[in-house]
Amino acid sequence: MGRPFRARLGANENGFGPSPRVIAAMSQAAGDVWKYGDPESFALRSALAARHGVGIGNIVVGEGIDSLLGLVARLYIEPGTPVVTSLGGYPTFNYHVAGFGGRLVTVPYDGDRENLEGLREAAIRERAPLVYLANPDNPMGTWWDGAEIAAFAASLPETTMLVLDEAYGETAPASALPPFDTGRPNLLRMRTFSKAYALAGMRCGYAIGEAETIRAFDKIRNHFGMPLITQAASLAALEDEAHLAATLDRIAACRRRIAGIAAAHHLKAVPSATNFVAIDCGGREIAEAVMQGLLARDVFVRKPATPGLDRCIRVSVGPEDEIACFEEAFGEALAAVHNRR
């Protein structure tokens, strides 16, 4: 568009920003950027292992979940390999599958949630070596209870790897996250520092799984892919639990604020366990027109493209000045749409 946005609410970043400890750690590490980062990310993996009650050998660190998904595709996919995912789910995983010649088998959502039974049936029918599931979900923000996720994982064939994307795990209810089971070789759980910890620009994610499954990543990962400053920033973020708790409170409050803005215009917000809210605009054409109206007013939001989900726009949480900007532009965009009708 050739100009900056007034409000950046479309990429599910954390506009509340990182802990001051993170900025200090990055500044302290800046003078050492002539060095490669620790190829084993030992300090960070040790801290993560302690946080989650698993062994250091159960964790691999990578350049965000997106990079780890690419490694999973490389490990498990050959041309023609069937891979099961949800129709309308996180698209980056699909790009990796396509890049390695895999054959996507998609299962429509059940309402606004990913369809666990449909995914299970497709995995068994196709004898798929991979099933991808996000909990909480992107783009709708919905979630399954942890007990249901655990039962789903247990119901899959031993030859099917469940890639469980928990990028929004910190913003979800504790009940949505099952206990870690590092004895199950066909389960990989992925987390990130991009969302709750506000480090999207540092590119750091990690996977937790059975030790032999995790060791397989060493065959193909970029061993010097994690910059020194990224490791320092992520470790500092992990250590500042008070800042994380305060950020989670701000995210929850902003979700309520966005839902209130929707309700003021007689629209419904889909209940969310993430750092964004899907607003049901009542139909695909209206949602598209509202999104375009927001973009024209320099407010960046996105919307799902899949039928059934495309009646919504997706609005990330953010600082009050940006949400106020969204509120004003949203009302104007809705009014313009209704005036045209």
User: What's the pLDDT band for 233 if we cut at 50, 70, 90?
Assistant: very high
Inter-helix orientation angle 320-340/284-296, to 10°? 130
pLDDT at 159 over 70: yes
What DSSP string describes 90-121? -HHHHHHHHHTT-EEEEE--BTTB--HHHHHH
Helix and strand element counts for the chain (H, E)? 11, 12
The first and second tokens of residue 31, run together, are 């003078």
Same fold, 7-16+242-340 and 20-239: no
The class (CATH top level) of 20-239 is alpha beta
Q: For residue range 47-63, what is the model confidence (pLDDT) as tens digits?
A: 999 999 999 999 999 99
According to the model, what pLDDT value does residue 328 have? Answer: 98
Residue ranges of the alpha helices (H) in the chain?
20-30, 42-52, 64-76, 91-99, 116-126, 146-155, 211-215, 228-239, 241-264, 284-296, 320-340
Task: Quickly tell me which residue has 């950020």 as its tokens.
Answer: 247
How many residues are present in the chain?
341
Is 157 in a helix, a strand, or coil?
Answer: coil
Q: For residue range 260-303, what is the model confidence (pLDDT) as tens digits?
A: 999 999 999 999 999 999 999 999 999 999 999 999 999 999 99
The arithmetic mean of pLDDT across residues 158-184, rounded, is: 97
According to the model, what pLDDT value does residue 266 have? Answer: 97
Residue 338 burial (CB < 10 Å; 0-12/13-18/19+)?
A: exposed
pLDDT averaged over the chain?
Answer: 97
Neighbours of 290 (CB within 10 A): 25
How many Cα neighbours within 13 Å face the side chain of 123?
Answer: 27
According to the model, what pLDDT value does residue 341 have? Answer: 65
Indicate the CATH number of 7-16+242-340 among 3.90.1150.10, 3.40.50.620, 3.40.50.800, 3.90.1200.10: 3.90.1150.10
- Full-model pTM: 0.95
Q: For residue range 210-230, what is the model confidence (pLDDT) as tens digits?
A: 999 999 999 999 999 999 999
Domain ranges of the chain: 7-16+242-340, 20-239
How much is the CA Rg of the chain, to the nearest whole Å? 20
